[in-house]
Structure formats: structure tokens, C-alpha cells
Structure 1
């Protein structure tokens, strides 16, 4: 089946779409929130936690409206898959409820903030089954499709506009997520993470990974993104890339230039240089004008996204 949506997705639009920054790192290091297993979806258990998540998104939503850009609301469900949920004591029913609540909460925010000049889209975030920095719990394509299918179905039923496989470390899991979304008739986006050499944690070059997923899914993903890596880790790969580079529609970079292993060992947040990061985004957009989604990942917050908006969005407000 072919994915269908009544919404104009970022890659179909002429406008730039902002996203938020590093949700989990902001909540833990800036707000002092205790996120067991780095699982932000646990905040959805009660009204206070849901308000905490809404308050996290509000500065970004305000920025999007002021800059007259679109905004992509990514659900707080990076860890909301069966393995991580089981470790946190969630039943299958409770996990479904959390994934549904995550989308419904974002719909409330979208209805509150969206304008004719600033459309808001909702993406159901799907994280890796295992660690986001290393290749573990490696599955076949079919195993990955079956493993992630339920989360995709809940997102679609709850009214998400799309689903995004974020921080993907290997082709098999990325392909499985894309196929699950295609079968559920919701547009998939695949976001790979890379090491400092521009290769996936699996060792595969980024271009090869994108081409492999496209080949296995009939160009199924709406577009691809890169997240959880600093632009210095992948800029040279993009510059040397071929036609596959035109499939990249979004960037959610880390604030820090540190490697995944170095970041994993850090006890303090490395926020890098927001202005330098914004300038690097501008360079990428100048070379790749088809990129439509810009936001942040680990270590970034509203300061980084404000700098990116000011540098990259026409009419942006700091």
C-alpha cells in the first residue's frame, strides 16, 4: 500500500520547518528531571508530567510562530518500544496508552499554536530497539517490521501525520520501520545517526544506507534525516555524496563535537557553540536547498534553535 496523508509534509513544502532540540538532555541536565533509562515518555503517566512536556515544547512553538516557519512536533516516545517499556514496568496496554497520549498531547499543542503562516505537523518518534549509539539487538528486516509495527499502528490511529525512525544505527531496523509504516499507510521518515567518520555505527557509509533502504522499500521513506551527530562529523560526507544526498530532508545535529562514546561518558552537558552550529546549518542549507527540517539533538535547547532560526529562516526572530 502507498502511504497517504492529508497534510503537506516538509519535503513537499517550500517553507522551512523547525523542530525542538534535545528533549531528554534538556529535561535531565537543564531541568533536573529524573528520566529512568532516558525515557521521556514516562512523564506521560500523570498530568504534572504532561504539563512538563508541554512547557518544554512551548518556547520552540513560540519561535516557529514568530519566525513564520512550520514546526514539526516530535513525540516524546524515543524509548517507548516493548523492550525499554518492559524494563520500566509497562504492560503492553500501558505502552499503547502512552504512545497514544504522546500524540494527543501534541495535537493539543498544535491546535493552540498553529497559524496559516506556521503549520504544525506531528511525528510519532520511533527509537531503536536497543542503544542509540551502538549496534545491539540486531534484527532482520522482517523482525524489525514486526517489532515496531504496533507502535506505528498506535501513532497512525492517534492521528500522527507521519512517523520518524530516529537515531537509526543500521539498515535492517530502519527498513523494518519504513515497511511497517508503509503497510499502515502513514508516511515514514528515517533518520540515521553517524560516527565522527560519517559512517553509521554499523560501519556502513551513510549514502549506502540510504540507498539500501530505498532499494528495499521502493523509495518508501518520504525523506531521510541525520541526527545525534555534529555537522563536523558528516559535512564532508554530504559534500562528497551523489544523488542520494537529495533524499536528505532534515538535520537534527548535536551541540557537541564529541563522539558518541565521549558523550556517553560525560557527566556534564556540552552545549557547544549555538552560533557556530547555526552557521554550519546555513552552510548545509546553501549547498542543499531542498532540506526542509532543521532542529537539534543532544545538548541543544531553545538557544540553539533560536540561533538556527535567526540564521536560516527568512523573517526569523531571535
Structure 2
């Protein structure tokens, strides 16, 4: 049974961490080939599940040492049906691997959770298309129909919520939130932003959050920002407004490069972990509701340690 589906502990305001850039860590640091950048493929390989366990435990150690809760994200960002078909999986394998991804996280929770450091299991979802380029934008109805099957799958596991990462457009966000609500699954929508602080469609972040809330009755538990450097979107947050209070989490890139530059690079730009921590400290002042912190492309445990040091003490003090 899901432990926190009816009441997510991060909504109580305590400090929570999550991991860094899983795929960039596996590809650029571990030298592991990931077809279509799909980490779920490790669940099929000898030693893959053990590698993913070690990866998660490295971050769980940081959270426990600092008295923080932790959100475990499943390796299913590219595991919806379109992506698993590209990977050559059968329908049975698609279902089995999505289920294994959640079961492995539930086992980690049983080992690591303490009363002071709750561990939440999240069914991670990605966009139907690319996380940098919206491509052909679906209608909200099409997005709901497409994502409903993976959300239903997570609904039958121990996942406490679904987190949609690198969402590039509002109709897809609306569809995901609607599909999750129909399954009584809490949802989190995390938008990808470009160097100008806008979605890849050109829509301002404020409009995307307000439009999604208006179309869904505000059913998303909260919003996040991921796959952009803090300097790319800080100016948008400075403008303020009630919409800012809907943002509870940040998973920023280590690099200041644009998505186009990152897409074409053959090296890992890990930036400066200490500077990224200071960047997060500035963001924390602009995001009064934020209490979920992790990283995205190019980040690893070093970055999350710095982010933790800069952000979680403020959350506790609040």
C-alpha cells in the first residue's frame, strides 16, 4: 500500500531533498550507455538494479545526516508507452519494469525511513516527446489519454504520487494533472525553462502555472522547476505574485548552458557545486513555499550536499 498518498509529508513544510541528475551521472560519470537516455533500461541489465540502489542510497545518506525527508524518484522518466516501444519492450515488459522501479524504491524506503526523516516514493513521468523541445503539442485531452495508462499503473503500486518532470507545455501539464486526479493520485508538475525563464513554447512560467491551475481546479499538489540553471529563471521569480507560492521544489541544472548547447555537448558540465548552492540560497528567498530541493542535468551528490547546506536550515527556521 502507498504510505503517503492521502497526505504528502512535504506539504507540511519540513525540509526535503531529492537526487541529482540520474541520467547524466550514469552516462558521463559511470560511462553507461542509455538508449534514448532511458535509465529504466538498467532494470534489465545484470547489476543494474544494484547500481541504482547505490545511487539512491548516496542521497538518502545526505538526507538522513541532515535531518531531511527524501523523495525517491523512480527511473521511469522515459518509460511511458511511446518510449518503451522505441526501446523495443513488449507490453508485458513495459508493465513489469515500471512496477519493479516502484517496488525497488519501496524497499529502499523500508530500509531508510525514520520518524524524523520520511521517505516518499514518486512515480516519475516525462513528457511524451523531448524534454527540451515541445515538438508537436498535444491537446489537454490527448495528453490526459496518453499519460493515463502510466498513472494508472503507478496507482496500483506503492507510489505515493506522480511527478511529471521536464514538462515543456501547458496542455500536457493539464492532461497529466487531470489524469492523476481521476486516479486519486497526488501530482506534481515540474516545468522545463529556457534561458529566458520561459517554457520552451515561449509561455511565461507564471501563465503556465495559472493556466494549469485554472483548467484543473488546482488539483496539482504543487509545482517545481527543473532542467534550467537558477540564473535562467531568477528574474521571473523576482516579479513575485501568488503564483510563486505554488512552487515548492527546484531541481536546477549545474550548467548555465542552453538546452541546445547541452543537447549537442559530448562532455559533462558540472559547473561549481558551491556556487550552485549559493544560487539556491538566493532562490530560497524568492520562493517562500519551497522546501523540496535537488538537482538536474550535470548535478550529483556534491551539488545536493551544497544545496542542502544552503537551503534546509532556512526551511527549518521558517
1:253-298 deviations in Å (ceiling 9; x for gaps)? 0000000001111100000111111111111112323101100000
Aligned residue pairs: how many?
312
Aligned to 1:66: 65
What do residues 98-136 of structure 1 show as CA deviations (whole Å, max 9, x unaligned)? 111111100011111111111000111110111100111
2:9 is aligned to 9
Work out the CA distance in 1 between the residues paired with 2:229 and 2:209: 19
Tell me if structure 2 keeps the 8 A contact 1:122–1:161: yes
1:178 is matched with 177
Q: Which residue is equivalent to 1:32?
A: 31
User: How big is the shift at 1:159?
Assistant: 1.3
Number of the residue aligned with 1:100: 99
Q: 2:9, 2:118 within 8 Å by CA — same for their partners in 1?
A: no
Kindly state the Cα deviation for residue 18 of structure 1 after the two structures are TM-superposed.
Answer: 0.2
What is the rounded CA distance, in whole Å, between the counterparts of 1:14 and 1:170 in structure 2? 28
The within-5 A match list for 1:4-153 is: 5-10=5-10, 12-46=11-45, 48-153=47-152
| SS of residue matched to 2:156 | helix
State the Cα distance separating 1:84 from its structure 2 match: 1.2
| Cα deviations by residue, 1:130-186 (Å, 9 ceiling, x for unpaired) | 110011142111111010111101111111111011000000111111111000001
Matches within 5 A, 1:213-232: 213-232=212-231
Would you say the 8 A contact 1:25–1:299 is kept in 2? yes
- Partner residue of 2:187? 188
Residue 241 of structure 1, CA deviation? 3.1
- TM-score normalized by the length of structure 1: 0.95
CA contact (8 A) 1:70 1:120 kept: yes
Q: Which SS does the other structure have where 2:6 is aligned?
A: coil
Deviation at 1:92, TM superposition (A): 1.9
Aligned-residue Cα RMSD (Å) equals: 1.4
Distance 2:79 2:136 in 1: 16
What is the distance in 2 between the residues matched to 1:267 and 1:46?
24
Q: What are structure 2's unaligned runs of at least 5 residues? A: none
CA contact (8 A) 1:227 1:252 kept: yes
Question: Is the 1:67–1:314 Cα contact (8 Å) retained in structure 2?
Answer: no
**CA shift digits 1:179-213 (9 cap, x unpaired):** 11000001010000110001100111110000110
1:267 counterpart = 2:271: no
For 1:121, what is the secondary structure of its paired residue? strand
Aligned to 2:282: 283
- Helix, strand or coil for the counterpart of 1:158? coil
User: Does the 8 Å contact 2:160/2:186 carry over to 1?
Assistant: yes
Shift of 1:314: 3.0
Q: Which runs of 5+ in 1 are unaligned?
A: none
Q: Post-superposition, which runs of at least 4 consecutive aligned residues in structure 1 deviate over 4 A? A: none
Task: Report the Cα offset of residue 44 of structure 1.
Answer: 1.1
2:245: which partner in 1?
246
Whether contact under 8 Å (1:207, 1:241) holds in the other structure is no
Q: How far 1:94 moved relative to its partner?
A: 1.2
Moved more, 53-62 or 90-99: 90-99
Tell me how far 1:9 sits from its aligned partner: 3.4
Change (3 A) 1:185 1:176: same
**Closer, same or farther in 2 for the Cα pair 1:47/1:184, shift >3 Å?**
farther
